[in-house]
Chains A and B, each alone.
Chain A
């Protein structure tokens, strides 16, 4: 292992450029750590802690740029440094060319400047969002509406306008989408180009649900044509599934899409009917995952129901590769048998009083799915949550777990005035320690969501708290079973394999899906 640094005087870049370059270096062959920072004493301190501070870096002044790389060999380190220099130079050239183009101040100017753009990503304060979305639609742009706090009346109006103009309105509060291979919002690195045939087209009213199925398919090498997020409220009785219906029609008309995959919490009954009627009219095989919903209406329109995100992914993958859905179901059944064995072994690590499940979620759909699975395994009224399946299961306080608890840390009570837990792990980290301290806790689960725009190392952040919790548990001579699931791909900026490794090194059992983690927990606690 060798650490190499390059100090460059008079080179200035903004922080995002430097972070991006450092992230890219970490993906190069043989590179185990890298940093690209100004040579301030504080940054030198960070380099020192990371074992990246060479004498050259130590001698750098605050106005010097330091590129530090640790790699398996000298040639790999030097390659990485050369690559960093090239990337930085290219970013400067790009900035110089951008200088000539004035920054547009309106949607119409932006549309004129980018004549071939066909989608607008709207991310402004909620009260202005609908107006901006209308402007984009009038410019014949599809809309990805990241903003939340848009009134339901506005949502209906802009979705109707979109439908009338043959355009998609994804959102409001759309977390993620992948359109023509481009990731929008908190999406994962799936494909650079969409497939030319045999692909799966996805429509989802749930951000993490969409991420779960897209990453699951990507891990199996299955092509995704489009992944359209509709926003969580689209399937409510008020909005009436306007965009889910339009998106299904669009995928039906798309010659490259061969399989349809729909993901959502159960829609309002009349909306479910409308959506499923659209599916019935399609001649493409469809998998429908209405989490916790009934199978019969789905089967009645000739579609295949899937009770979990994982099952939906595997069935869709089978269909896309010419296989049989029964194969996927059989494989899952076999896997679940294995989980029972694993649960028996793990149970022996627990003491008598430890009997509770504690799930700390950053993805709302994962929290929901877990409650459905555990309710079936442990008893419907026994799973409490701040985002419960029914009123009776609501936690008295979101800050205090009771019995088996699944806490959605992305809910408003945790995010008002704070960042979402996918961005800032501080709150969940404190809660990990708090839950581990509770003598009732037997299983402690976290979902680790990767992708663009989220925390650069969520597993690394979580294990800091897990180590602290384990220290305390050791003193109390107790053990807690830490479970996790990583939702991401190896191409994500955080690298899913690396995230799994970090968790496993901390003794965390990493499951292949949220559903598998919930089942294992259920078997342990049954």
Chain B
């Protein structure tokens, strides 16, 4: 048995795991991937992740005080008992005050226009110039293909050519070496921007991007893209969006808050954070040229 304290659970993960109470067959989990700050599991065909507080809440996160030993072997049953959630040998304790975390920000309260876009751009510039990081951590052939694939996607989005969006997203998706390839992170960032910028055709565009990427990338990455297409963002992104969407006059404090939020996203994964920021900036530009 491995015990851990469950501090928060995202609404989609909670709903999924609650299903085990009502379905006739118990849900089962298998290990997908292990990282320093996260253990990713597959439950049915859905990804969930145990993460430590440093990583924070996300669309499919269960935040625990520390990570248990990774699961070994095949499928592990999931069941609930009094104030405990069991996943195979894991016993996740929670209290009645456990936080059910909502991954979808209140988009109606977030409106990112030209001024906010500039704030975001300045913050990214400040962070990237200071941190010796690249907007895409990828290199060589991947980098050049990424660059080559971004433009057709932008053109298709701007002209609202949905089959073109679908195809260009498919070309970009899965590009890059890691578990969430750079192309996918870029797309996830762009999808969030479509929501943040209130693109008038965001539903069609998100759907086209999701369709174009289906089956073309890793399971985890697919889950990230799907969440972003639904307008779901992790805690770090929600923090950034809340500061970006804030309407007070320019102030040093606001600038610092935005920079800190950008910096925090930039450290997500090896290159994922930076790739997402690049995609978000591109997505905001698409919103400014959106056909009505």
Across the interface, which residues of A come within 8 angstroms of B33, CB to CB?
A: 10, 12
Q: Contact check: which of A14, A126, A426 meets B35 at CB < 8 Å?
A: A14
- Beta-carbon contacts of A405-420 to B below 8 Å, as 1s and 0s? 0000000000111010
Across the interface, which residues of A come within 8 angstroms of B35, CB to CB?
A: 12, 14, 95
Kindly provide the distance from the CB of B153 to the nearest chain A CB, expressed in whole angstroms. Answer: 13
Question: How extensive is the interface on chain A, given as a class?
Answer: 35 or more
Q: How far is the CA of A19 from the CA of B34 in the complex (A)?
A: 19
A14, B179: Cβ atoms closer than 8 Å: yes
Kindly provide the distance from the CB of B54 to the nearest chain A CB, expressed in whole angstroms. Answer: 6
Q: How far is the CA of A19 from the CA of B142 in the complex (A)?
A: 11
A43, B176: Cβ atoms closer than 8 Å: yes
Interface centre among A14, A95, A424 (most CB of B within 10 A): A14
B176, A146: Cβ atoms closer than 8 Å: no
Q: Given known contacts A42-B145, A63-B219, is B177 in contact with A146 (CB within 8 Å)?
A: no
B130, A419: Cβ atoms closer than 8 Å: no
Cβ of B147 < 8 Å from any Cβ of A? yes
Which chain A residue has the least Cβ–Cβ distance from B219?
A: A63
Cβ of A427 < 8 Å from any Cβ of B? no
Across the interface, which residues of A come within 8 angstroms of B175, CB to CB?
A: 40, 42-43, 46
B130, A124: Cβ atoms closer than 8 Å: yes
- Beta-carbon contacts of A55-67 to B below 8 Å, as 1s and 0s? 0000000110000
Cβ of A24 < 8 Å from any Cβ of B? no
User: In A6-65, which residues have CB < 8 Å from any B CB?
Assistant: 10, 12-19, 22, 35-38, 40-43, 45-46, 49-50, 62-63
Q: Given known contacts A123-B131, A416-B125, is B216 in contact with A42 (CB within 8 Å)?
A: yes
Kindly provide the distance from the CB of B119 to the nearest chain A CB, expressed in whole angstroms. Answer: 14
Q: Contact check: which of B37, B127, B183 meets A42 at CB < 8 Å?
A: B183
A38, B181: Cβ atoms closer than 8 Å: yes
A456, B54: Cβ atoms closer than 8 Å: no
B140, A62: Cβ atoms closer than 8 Å: no
B130, A62: Cβ atoms closer than 8 Å: no
Across the interface, which residues of A come within 8 angstroms of B173, CB to CB?
A: 40, 42
Which chain A residue has the least Cβ–Cβ distance from B182?
A: A15
Across the interface, which residues of B come within 8 angstroms of A50, CB to CB?
A: 141
B215, A38: Cβ atoms closer than 8 Å: no
Which chain A residue has the least Cβ–Cβ distance from B259?
A: A125
Cβ of B137 < 8 Å from any Cβ of A? yes
Cβ of B138 < 8 Å from any Cβ of A? yes
B216, A15: Cβ atoms closer than 8 Å: no
Q: Contact check: which of B129, B131, B177 meets A36 at CB < 8 Å?
A: B177
A146, B132: Cβ atoms closer than 8 Å: yes
User: In A417-455, which residues have CB < 8 Å from any B CB?
Assistant: 417, 419, 423-424, 426, 453, 455
Across the interface, which residues of B come within 8 angstroms of A148, CB to CB?
A: 129-130
B174, A43: Cβ atoms closer than 8 Å: yes
Q: Contact check: which of B134, B135, B141, B270 meets A14 at CB < 8 Å?
A: B270
- Beta-carbon contacts of B250-277 to A below 8 Å, as 1s and 0s? 0000001001000100000111100000
Across the interface, which residues of B come within 8 angstroms of A45, CB to CB?
A: 145
B140, A15: Cβ atoms closer than 8 Å: no
Q: How far is the CA of A123 from the CA of B266 in the complex (A)?
A: 13
A41, B174: Cβ atoms closer than 8 Å: yes
Kindly provide the distance from the CB of A421 to the nearest chain B CB, expressed in whole angstroms. Answer: 12
Across the interface, which residues of A come within 8 angstroms of B221, CB to CB?
A: 62
Q: How far is the CA of A185 from the CA of B176 in the complex (A)?
A: 25
Q: How far is the CA of A38 from the CA of B219 in the complex (A)?
A: 11
Q: How far is the CA of A423 from the CA of B138 in the complex (A)?
A: 11
User: In B172-190, which residues have CB < 8 Å from any A CB?
Assistant: 172-179, 181-183
Q: How far is the CA of A379 from the CA of B221 in the complex (A)?
A: 59
User: In A94-140, which residues have CB < 8 Å from any B CB?
Assistant: 95-96, 98-99, 102-103, 123-127, 129
Q: Given known contacts A40-B216, A42-B216, A123-B131, is B126 in contact with A16 (CB within 8 Å)?
A: no
Q: Contact check: which of A35, A103, A127, A419 meets B54 at CB < 8 Å?
A: A103
Cβ of A225 < 8 Å from any Cβ of B? no
Kindly provide the distance from the CB of B240 to the nearest chain A CB, expressed in whole angstroms. Answer: 15
Q: Contact check: which of B147, B182, B215 meets A62 at CB < 8 Å?
A: B215
A456, B140: Cβ atoms closer than 8 Å: yes
Which chain A residue has the least Cβ–Cβ distance from B137?
A: A15
Q: How far is the CA of A35 from the CA of B35 in the complex (A)?
A: 22
Q: Contact check: which of B134, B147, B177 meets A18 at CB < 8 Å?
A: B177
Kindly provide the distance from the CB of B14 to the nearest chain A CB, expressed in whole angstroms. Answer: 25
B36, A12: Cβ atoms closer than 8 Å: no
Which chain A residue has the least Cβ–Cβ distance from B31?
A: A10
Q: How far is the CA of A38 from the CA of B175 in the complex (A)?
A: 9
Across the interface, which residues of A come within 8 angstroms of B219, CB to CB?
A: 62-63
Across the interface, which residues of B come within 8 angstroms of A17, CB to CB?
A: 178, 270
Cβ of B234 < 8 Å from any Cβ of A? no
Q: How far is the CA of A456 from the CA of B216 in the complex (A)?
A: 26
Cβ of B121 < 8 Å from any Cβ of A? yes
Residues of B within 8 A of A (CB): 32-37, 40, 54, 67, 121, 125-132, 134-135, 137-142, 144-145, 147, 170-179, 181-183, 215-221, 256, 259, 263, 269-272
User: What are 30 A-B pairs with beta-carbon distances under 8 A?
Assistant: A12-B40, A15-B176, A15-B177, A15-B269, A15-B271, A16-B137, A16-B178, A17-B270, A37-B177, A40-B216, A43-B142, A43-B176, A46-B141, A62-B216, A62-B219, A63-B218, A92-B34, A95-B36, A99-B37, A123-B132, A124-B130, A126-B129, A126-B130, A149-B126, A149-B130, A415-B129, A417-B121, A417-B125, A457-B140, A464-B144
New A-B contacts (6) at CB < 8 Å, excluding given A15-B179, A419-B134:
A38-B177, A62-B219, A124-B263, A185-B132, A416-B125, A457-B140
Question: Which 5 A-B pairs rank lowest in CB-CB distance, beginning with the nearest?
Answer: A40-B174, A15-B178, A12-B33, A14-B270, A16-B270
